[in-house]
Amino acid sequence: MIESIHRQQPQLSRVVVRRRFVNRADRSNTILAPLENQSRWLHTIGFAEMDCYFKIYELAVFEGQKPM
């Protein structure tokens, strides 16, 4: 995330970008459920063979199959 933001705002140092990202105003609003809970919710609505392929900060990429 830091690298992506830094590429968009190269005038800022990585240290400043990181500090702003970590201490941003909405940080207290982005406390998410644990990965296991989110995976269980998806399984509960019918997804099978769930897996999380990527996670960083608030971003998680899940994959699963929902039988027809």
For the chain, give every domain's residue range: 1-27, 32-68
Handedness of CA 60, 61, 63, 66 (dihedral sign): positive
Q: Is the pTM of this model over 0.85?
A: no
Instruction: Please report the pLDDT score of residue 9 as a whole number.
Output: 94
- Cα(2)–Cα(18) distance, integer angstroms: 6
- Mean pLDDT by runs of 10 across the 68 residues of the chain is 90 94 83 86 90 84 88
Instruction: Please report the pLDDT score of residue 61 as a whole number.
Output: 92
Which residues have CB under 8 Å from 20's CB, separation 6+? 12
Instruction: Please report the pLDDT score of residue 30 as a whole number.
Output: 74
Instruction: Please report the pLDDT score of residue 18 as a whole number.
Output: 93
- Cα(1)–Cα(52) distance, integer angstroms: 18
Instruction: Please report the pLDDT score of residue 15 as a whole number.
Output: 95
